[in-house]
Amino acid sequence: MSTTIETGAAGHIRSRRGWFVQAIAAMSMAFAFALTGCADDNASMRTMAEAQNPPVYKLGPGDRLGVTVFGEETITGEYDVDSQGAISLPLAGRMSVKGMTAQQFEGALTNRLKQGLVTNPQVAVAVVKYRPFYILGEVKNPGAYPYYSGATVLNAVAMAGGYTYRARTSRISVVKSDGDREQMIANEDAYLEPGDIVIVPLRWF
């Protein structure tokens, strides 16, 4: 009798465990469909305009800048752009860089230092760490990847390990990182910008 009771209890536990695993799997699949199917739900989405050249990189939160002021070791170094789009520098203080190119920030910092802080400042600014872009859906390793100048949708797919066999490559979409966050259909040659989200939808068999 004791053995029968233990066996029944163990079977009941295994049954409940199996139900739990199935429920989690179903929830995961539903979440994946919500991500990858969104490109199919809106057939009227605009197509991204084809750019002839990579977009000009604009600085923003999450970037890390290398700042060199020749002869001024106290200023020279690497600085993270904070959530407000600004960096804080010795002597120069807090400066907003959001929306600037690296060259534009060079000019702004040079002008700041000329205001009685440094004699004849020679400034160089470079991006040493870009904020990432994201790729979701039917790729082998979805997630965040470091941006680099000239990155395309196809580059993003390659960085994510390639398509899965279920990918619908004709309906890839990109959610742009600019203010309106519009989702648009894009081909594999479309250039990306930091913060963009690439979505590879599920192919319905």
Instruction: Evaluate whether 154 touches 188 at the Cβ level (below 8 Å).
Output: yes
Q: How far apart are the first and last CA of the chain?
A: 52
Q: Are the C-beta atoms of residues 157 and 134 closer than 8 Å to each other?
A: no
Q: What integer pLDDT is reported at residue 11 of this predicted model?
A: 43
Beta strands at 132-137 and 123-129: parallel, antiparallel or unpaired: unpaired
Q: Where are the domains of the chain?
A: 37-50+132-200, 64-129
What's the pLDDT tens digit per position in 3-36?
Answer: 433 444 444 444 444 443 344 333 334 444 444 4
**3-state secondary structure string across 51-74:** CCCCCCCCCCCCCEEEEEECCCCC
Count of CB atoms within 10 A of residue 130's CB? 19
Identify the pLDDT of residue 8: 47
What is the separation of C-alpha 68 from the centre of its chain, rounded to a whole number of angstroms? 27
Per-residue pLDDT at 174: 94
Q: Give the per-residue pLDDT at 23.
A: 41
Domain 37-50+132-200: state its class: alpha beta
- Splitting the chain (205 residues) into consecutive groups of 10 residues, what average pLDDT does each group show? 41 43 39 45 61 82 95 94 95 94 96 93 94 95 92 96 94 84 87 93 82
- For domain 64-129, the CATH superfamily is wza like domain (3.30.1950.10)
In this predicted structure, what is the pLDDT of residue 188? 93
Q: Which parts of 122-201 are beta strand (E)?
A: 123-129, 132-137, 143-146, 173-175, 183-185, 197-200
Its pTM stands at 0.66
CA dihedral sign of residues 163, 165, 168, 169: positive
* pLDDT for res 10: 44
